[in-house]
Amino acid sequence: MTTALFTHPECLGHITPEGHAERPERLRAVLAALSVPDFAALERREAPLATRAHLLLAHPQAHVAAIEAAIPAQGSVALDPDTHVMAGSLAAALRAAGAGIAAVDAVLAGEVANAFCAIRPPGHHAEAECPMGFCLFGNVAIGALHALDHHGLERVAIVDFDVHHGNGTQDILWNEARVLFCSTHQMPLYPGTGEAGEHGAHGNIVNAPLPPGAEGAAFRAAWETRILPALEAFRPELVLISAGFDAHRADPLAQLRLGEEDFAWVTERICDVADRHSGGRVVSTLEGGYDLEALAACVAAHVKVLMERGG
């Protein structure tokens, strides 16, 4: 059994305005890091386009139509101060969501042990009815709903260690008892949600906010005391990761102080839960991470663990 890498060149075609943090160079840095001999055993697969039916798992028709209608023939259009679309954005976003769908299919079919989706734009800020925070569609939420509705799973966990709260994932899955959504994130920080008291309609959401300046020890303690016990009790049949690496100390968008070793550690702990309850089935999807060097190093550390655990 191997680890699959899902990506597509069209994810580079979502070209944000000059100076924007969420830029094609991020994905180029990630793919360069995964092109060295250490990663030769990755099973490289092309991310398909998500279908409209996939998007409608998480979003109303009006949201999908509004994104499609906003795409300009030339130049870029701001959907909000952070979130822009241009001619290549729709294809990139459909590949980003499609990667997660295909990765869930491959892992649940037993073709690969686990998978990493190297995609952009990211997805965890996209609410059911609102694009925001660089995100157009809820990539990981869509993958979870696909696993439930298409594959008939009963319990899917999403863990999100991006430094920003996954407000979109939380919004889409607030009423979904079949999904446990767990997040560590800096607070206060964009988007402002993710208080420890936000539990979801069925107690299906676990938020563990961390203060600015928190280091690896506080991050690991939050996982050990809050998130891992909740995951263990939930007994997920599949674990999805919103893998943002902007909690790294070098990241320009936030003030947590993690290092590569902390991302490797949390990946190990997530795989431990997956080994006990999910047959090791893990699908990880890229979210944030805006210092190119740190992003590349963290993705390498994360994927290395997935490969070791999947092999």
**Binding residue (CB under 5 A) for Zn ion from 127, 160, 246, 262:** 246
Judged by CB under 5 A, which stretch of 35-43, 59-67, 225-233, 287-295 contacts Zn ion? 287-295
In the complex, residue closest to Zn ion by CB: 288
Judged by CB under 5 A, which stretch of 15-23, 57-65, 67-75, 245-253 contacts Zn ion? 245-253
Is residue 244 a contact residue for Zn ion (CB under 5 A)? Answer: yes
Cis previous bond, 9, omega within 30: no
Is residue 26 a contact residue for Zn ion (CB under 5 A)? Answer: no
Is residue 82 a contact residue for Zn ion (CB under 5 A)? Answer: no
Mark whether 125 is an active-site residue: yes
Site for Zn ion in 96-155 (CB under 5 A): none
Q: Residue 59 Cβ, how far from Zn ion at the closest point, in Å?
A: 20
Q: Residue 246 Cβ, how far from Zn ion at the closest point, in Å?
A: 4
Q: Residue 171 Cβ, how far from Zn ion at the closest point, in Å?
A: 16
Give whole-number Cα distances, 232 to 17, 60, 203, 287, in Å. 42, 32, 15, 24
Is residue 166 a contact residue for Zn ion (CB under 5 A)? Answer: no
**Binding residue (CB under 5 A) for Zn ion from 160, 162, 237, 262:** 162
SS3 for 128?
Answer: coil
Beta bridge partners of 248: 258
- Residue by residue, DSSP assigns 249-271 as TT-TT---BB-HHHHHHHHHHHH
Looking from the CA of 219 toward its CB, the CA atoms found within 13 Å total 29
Q: Across 47-94, where does the E strand assignment appear?
A: 77-78, 84-85
Q: Select 171 or 246, whichever has its Cβ closest to Zn ion.
A: 246
Q: Determine which helix (DSSP H) or strand (DSSP E) holds 285, and give its type and residue range.
A: strand 282-286
Judged by CB under 5 A, which stretch of 21-29, 187-195, 283-291, 300-308 contacts Zn ion? 283-291
Q: Select 22 or 237, whichever has its Cβ closest to Zn ion.
A: 22
Beta bridge partners of 5: 44, 116
Q: Residue 14 Cβ, how far from Zn ion at the closest point, in Å?
A: 16
Beta bridge partners of 156: 179, 238
Q: Residue 73 Cβ, how far from Zn ion at the closest point, in Å?
A: 30
Q: Determine the Cα–Cα distance for residues 90 and 9; give it in Å rounded to an integer.
A: 13
Contacts of 182 (CB under 8 A, 6+ apart): 157, 158, 159, 160, 205, 206, 207, 208, 226, 227, 230, 231
Is residue 164 a contact residue for Zn ion (CB under 5 A)? Answer: yes
Q: End-to-end CA distance of the chain, in Å?
A: 6
Judged by CB under 5 A, which stretch of 30-38, 44-52, 205-213, 281-289 contacts Zn ion? 281-289
Q: Determine the Cα–Cα distance for residues 218 and 94; give it in Å rounded to an integer.
A: 36
The catalytic position among 59, 63, 125, 165 is 125
Q: Residue 32 Cβ, how far from Zn ion at the closest point, in Å?
A: 21
What is the binding site for Zn ion (CB under 5 A)? 162, 164, 244, 246, 288
Catalytically active residues, by annotation: 125
